[in-house]
Each structure stands twice: as C-alpha cells, then as structure tokens.
Structure 1
Amino acid sequence: MVNFNGNIVENEAFLPLNNRGYAYGDALFETVRSVHGKLLFWEDHYFRLMASMRIMRMEIPMNFTLEFLEAQILRTLESNKLLKQSARVKLTVHRIGAGLYLPHTNDVEFVISVKPLELDFYLLNSDDYEVDLFKDYYVSPSLLSALKTNNKALNVVGSIFANENKLDNCLLLNTNKQVVEALNGNVFLVNGNVIKTPPIEDGCLKGIMRKQIIELIKTIPDYTLDEASISPFELQKADEIFISNVIVGIQPVTKYRKKLFKQEVSKDLLEKLNVSIRLG
C-alpha cells in the first residue's frame, strides 16, 4: 500500500505516463528511516525538502507542514503494518500538470512508499567493502547537485559499473577532479584524529546523515572536523574511509585499490551515533 496525495491505495501503477517526475525528473525525494513509528532526523528531512522545493520553484501547499507529512508517513506505515518495526520510507514530491520542459503549473503531489528493514539500530558492517573511483562521468558542482532529485542517471550508471567490476561502491568526482561523495552517500576520510569530508560547494549531496555525523564529531574532543576538498591522491594516504547515509548509518570502506583500511573511528562514531539516537 502507498500513500498518494493522502489516499492509501494499492501498490500498483497509478501515475500517468506524462507524470513530470517520470518524464523529466521533475521531482524530489527524501529517504527516511523509521524505527517503531519514530522517524529518525525527521525535522532535518522536512526542512531539507522545503528548501529543495523552493530551489526547484515548486509551489509549497499550505498544508505541507511538518506535522501533516509526518502524519501521512505514519498512516502509510500503519496501513503496511510497519509501525512496530523498522522501515525505509520514501517520500516523493513531483510537479503536476502538463507542459514540456516548461510546466503549466508549479503545483505538486506527493507519494509515500515504505519497505521493512531488519535492524532497529545501526550496526557496523565489518565485511569486506571495496570501492574505486567512477571516472566515466562527473558531478557538476552547483546548488542543484546538493538536492535529492529524480535526476540520478550518474548514480545508476555508476552502480552498474561497480557491479560489473565486482565493487561494493564507487566514489564520484566533480568536474574539478575532486572526490565529492559515494554513489549512495557522503564520504569521510580519517587521518589520525582529523576527519575530513568534502564541502557542499564541491557538489556533494547535502546529506542528513552527513549533518548528524558532523554535529557528532564537533562534540568529541578526540576528533577534529575538516570540511575541505579531497583529491584522489588523499584516498590511499587515509587511515580510514567511511560512507554515510540514513539507512546504513556508517559503512566502513575496507579496500581502495591496493590500500586496506582500519575501522576503529567508524566503529566509535557508530556507537556514539546510536547512543545519541536513543537519548534523542
């Protein structure tokens, strides 16, 4: 069951072929982790969505309040019997109406879909996790590159490349040949007690988990945060590399080309992240 504009409907095709999210990628989405009906980092997701809609010049409905959208997500979870376990929630907002590149209206509709997750909290995945650079195409740094839109062709092609080369993930470069993010999350490098991550200006996604980790690092005297550009040459010099997103939390990288990495800081941050969620 999915939630289409506040109506719970069957999980089947109900959007027209001229839907602008399908036809032009004229849509935004938020992937939210729900734990027993609690939406983790919901305020951050909501305000990112509102800011993104303004950038995309979408008309924000008067009823699109924090409370309204949360209630709609909870309704969807309840209709799928997922209020008492963990779930992955996808909230998509697309512009409606006719038109080609130029829409006839800036009004929007929303769709909420949910899927069950096995784990209630974030656990460290210590299995082998190998990455490499994806250099066929590049991220063009701009205000749009920080948004979660339906324009994910680069991520799709990169994921196929990773699968063909038996990699677990790939790191993306921007047009200045700087490392900006992974295919499915933000990237962090650890050197000693310094944890480095690319700035938003380099073209990386304005990730919700990225924000949580940055705020967490700032509270820990043992670590220093550095938001600065990362060159590919820095990858093999790092003590650790990890990837973040709201579904897995922190995913340590164990291998980049011939370099093997530790997981000590990743483990420490993940433990502290779980504690902050329990206390929050």
Structure 2
Amino acid sequence: MLYVNNNETIIPAEEFSIHSGSRAFLYGDGVFESIRIRNGIPINLENHIKRMLEGAKAIKIRVPSYFTTEFFDIRIRELCKKSGITLGGFCRLSLDRMNGGKYKPETNDAQFFIEVKPVDHNDFILNTKGLEVDIFTDLKKQKNMLANFKLKNCLLSIMASIKAQERQLDDLLISNDTGGILESSSSNLFVVSNGVLYTPGLEEGCLAGTMRMQIINLAIRNNIRVYESNILPQNLLVADEIFLTNAISGITWVSGYRTKRYFNNTAKRLTHLLNEYWDEDLNNRLI
C-alpha cells in the first residue's frame, strides 16, 4: 500500500481527498518537485529543495524556516519505508499556498504534500529505442521571472504532450517567443555536436532542471565541454546527438527529428557516469 503525507497527516494514497478551497486544485497556486528515489533514498534533494524554495519566494508563498532539506528528507524516507519502497522510486513534493480566498489569497502561508511511487529500475536506464520528436508551434513559452521554476500550472506541457500524441510522435520541443528551442514537454534539452554539449541558457526561459545542472557538472568533470547557448531549429539538423534530461528518467536519447537521425554515444557515456556518481554517493553515506 502506498501512502501520502498531507501537511503532516499520513494516510493511504487511495483515501486522500482534496479539501474545499484548495488553491492548488482551484488555481494551480504552488510549486512542485519531482524527485528520484534510489535505494529508498531521495537523491539530489538539496538542489530540489533550493529550487522549490526559490520558486515559492518568486510567487510570494511564505515558507517557514524549518522547511529545510533535512525536514523533507526525513519525511520522504519515512513515506518510502511505510510504502515499501526500498529501491527505485518517484517522489512528488508540492508546496502550495494555504486554502482560502479567490484570486486574492486569504494568506500566503505554505502547506506541503508528498507522494511516493515505486519505479521499475533502481539505476538510471537509457532508453533502448530513441524518441521521435518535432517542434511544438501552437504555443510559446514566455521568458519571465517564473520560467525557470516548476509551477503547478502545466498547461503548456500538457498541450505539447497531446499534440505529440496526435502526430504519433514521442514528444515535442517547446520554444520561446524569439524562436529559441528550450526543452521538451517534460525534460531539458541537450544537443551534441563534435563531442561538445550545448544546452539553452536559463536566461532563454528554460526550466532550471536539477538533472540539467547535474549533467553539466558531470560533463565538465569528465572533460566534456559544455556551452549554454541559444538553440535554433537549424542546430538540430546539424547535430550528432540530441538527448533529454529530467530528475526521474535521467537521460533519454532522441533518435530522430523530422528526417534527421542521431547517435547516442554521449548519452550512453553520461548515463554510466550518472549511475557511478550516485553509487559513490551511497557508498559515502554508508561509510
């Protein structure tokens, strides 16, 4: 049985009901993080909490000082243990404005909600079959002060996912008002050309992904050059590889964009390095 933690009340997941006046439900008034579980432990949690708290501050949710990495680490581990998740898993941590009010809130105080689910693999596994992608043209992502955070209002990603399904593609890439390609419906974007990694800069409006940051750091440590730069459709057509990153899947390689085909050598190498990094992290915790 899986359990959730609704602002310090732990109940079975199937028994959860939304309280009347929930601002998260009514208005998408909050931020969230998707956190990978390995060996029953949330990984990269400090960076997730940092981004979540910065996002809450940006939308003027007042967060208590005790909402720290340690605070949420204890509660996520407790929930994993109670839900029987001892290896791979997924955690969604939400931070919402407390109930009450309409567009004008009655309070800016915060409440949290944690849910966990098992995933099939403990390690990050590179997809066997590459994704087929194209560019989403119906809507653009705005470059503004909220663009780098994971907000509860995800309609842009939902519409891109539906459009991809209608076109019988695996995903669509989202761009900004100036034509720069930012990300997919659920992941950050990396392009590989001549052994060099390119990824959109945060100033372009892409999500400040925790896995994006880790891949950049891993690449630099292993003498792979990385540049944050504007990526245009023509850059995709001359690339050797394209891969996507997010906290849950790790790295997902793209095999095709329109008529262009891609390799996955760099994606394979970085997936190996990613698992090595977290295995070493676990060993250090056990010493």
TM, length-normalised to structure 2: 0.94
5+ residue gaps, structure 2: 282-287
Q: Which amino acid aligns with 2:9?
A: N
Alignment counterpart, residue 69 of structure 2, candidates 66, 71, 79: 66
Q: Which amino acid aligns with 2:200?
A: P
Q: SS where residue 145 of structure 1 aligns?
A: coil
Aligned to 2:153: 151
TM, length-normalised to structure 1: 0.96
CA shift for structure 1 position 37: 2.2
Aligned to 1:233: 234
Q: SS where residue 47 of structure 2 aligns?
A: helix
Work out whether residues 130 and 252 of structure 2, in 8 Å CA contact, stay in contact via their aligned partners in 1: no
Aligned to 1:215: 217
Work out whether residues 169 and 182 of structure 1, in 8 Å CA contact, stay in contact via their aligned partners in 2: yes
Aligned to 1:140: 142
CA distance in 2, matches of 1:232, 1:18: 44
Confirm whether residue 16 of structure 1 aligns to residue 19 of structure 2.
yes
Q: SS where residue 270 of structure 1 aligns?
A: helix
CA shift for structure 1 position 13: 3.9
CA shift for structure 1 position 173: 0.7
Work out whether residues 172 and 179 of structure 1, in 8 Å CA contact, stay in contact via their aligned partners in 2: yes
Work out whether residues 174 and 203 of structure 1, in 8 Å CA contact, stay in contact via their aligned partners in 2: yes
Q: Which amino acid aligns with 2:255?
A: T
CA distance in 1, matches of 2:45, 2:169: 32
CA distance in 2, matches of 1:63, 1:240: 43
CA RMSD of superposed structures (Å): 1.1
Aligned to 1:255: 256
Alignment counterpart, residue 39 of structure 2, candidates 33, 36, 39: 36
Deviation digits for residues 132-165 of structure 1 (CA, Å, limit 9, x no counterpart): 1000000001120111011100111111111111
* Aligned residue pair count: 278
Work out whether residues 17 and 23 of structure 1, in 8 Å CA contact, stay in contact via their aligned partners in 2: no
CA distance in 2, matches of 1:194, 1:65: 36
Q: SS where residue 222 of structure 2 aligns?
A: coil
5+ residue gaps, structure 1: none
Q: Which amino acid aligns with 1:278?
A: D
CA shift for structure 1 position 17: 4.1
Aligned to 1:161: 163
CA shift for structure 1 position 220: 2.0
Q: Which amino acid aligns with 1:241?
A: I
CA distance in 2, matches of 1:78, 1:278: 20
Q: SS where residue 139 of structure 1 aligns?
A: coil
Deviation digits for residues 29-75 of structure 1 (CA, Å, limit 9, x no counterpart): 11111112221111111111111111111111132122111111112
Work out whether residues 133 and 258 of structure 2, in 8 Å CA contact, stay in contact via their aligned partners in 1: yes
